[in-house]
């Protein structure tokens, strides 16, 4: 399996390889908005399409019509290894945490101000909320050993 993922990864250009590694910070996938905010927006759609074409990323449509991008866990584990090799991995993890803490705050504000919070959207991001919470509450030394 690893040899197949290695082969597919080797077919990617350097920008595609970088995005592939960066997308590993998302547990359970991400929306286009989350990918733009955390990974950057330069040519993002083209790069995402290349990852989909190389079977390293899947795009699924949510009930609200918004696309969601996911990786199989074996592929994400490989991407996490690549993430550990890039210079901005810590900054990327911090942006991920900031994005999802901000999203949780937004949902909390909506809950206080409106009766119709988008709970399905909240549930889709549960793994990302857990990952962000773990990052902001776990001491840095523990995170470095676990690779989060």
- How far apart, in whole angstroms, are the C-alpha atoms of residue 91 and residue 27? 17
Helix (H) or strand (E) holding 93: helix 89-113
Residue 141: per-residue pLDDT: 46
CB contact at 8 A, 101 and 136: yes
Taking 50 as the threshold, does the pLDDT of residue 17 lie above it? yes
CB within 8 A of 83, min separation 6: which ones? 21, 22, 24, 25, 89, 92
- Three-state DSSP at 114 gives coil
Taking 60 as the threshold, does the pLDDT of residue 20 lie above it? yes
pLDDT: is 110 or 71 the higher one? 71
By residue range, what is the domain housing residue 10? 2-146
Q: What is the mean pLDDT of residues 49-57?
A: 96
Q: What is the pLDDT of residues 99-126, one digit of tens each?
A: 998 888 877 766 666 566 667 777 889 9
- Three-state DSSP at 119 gives helix
- How far apart, in whole angstroms, are the C-alpha atoms of residue 132 and residue 99? 9
- The answer to whether the Cα torsion of 119, 91, 47, 45 is positive or negative is positive
The number of domains in the chain is 1
Residue 148: per-residue pLDDT: 53
Residue 1: per-residue pLDDT: 86
In the chain, % of residues over pLDDT 90: 61
Among 5-14, 83-92, 102-111, the least confident range: 102-111
What's the CATH code of the domain at 107? 1.10.10
């Amino acid at each position: 399996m690893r040899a197949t993922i290695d082969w597919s990864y080797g077919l990617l250009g350097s920008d595609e390889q970088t995005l592939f590694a960066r997308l590993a910070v998302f547990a359970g996938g991400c929306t286009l908005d989350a990918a733009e905010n955390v990974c950057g927006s330069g040519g993002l759609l083209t790069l995402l399409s290349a990852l989909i074409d190389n079977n390293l990323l899947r795009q699924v449509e949510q009930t609200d019509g918004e696309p969601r991008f996911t990786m199989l866990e074996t592929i994400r584990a490989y991407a996490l290894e690549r993430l550990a090799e890039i210079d901005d991995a810590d900054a990327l993890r911090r942006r991920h945490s900031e994005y999802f803490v901000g999203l949780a705050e937004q949902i909390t504000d909506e809950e206080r101000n409106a009766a119709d919070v988008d709970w399905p959207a909240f549930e889709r991001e549960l793994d990302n909320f857990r990952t962000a919470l773990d990052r902001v509450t776990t001491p840095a030394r523990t995170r470095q050993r676990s690779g989060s």
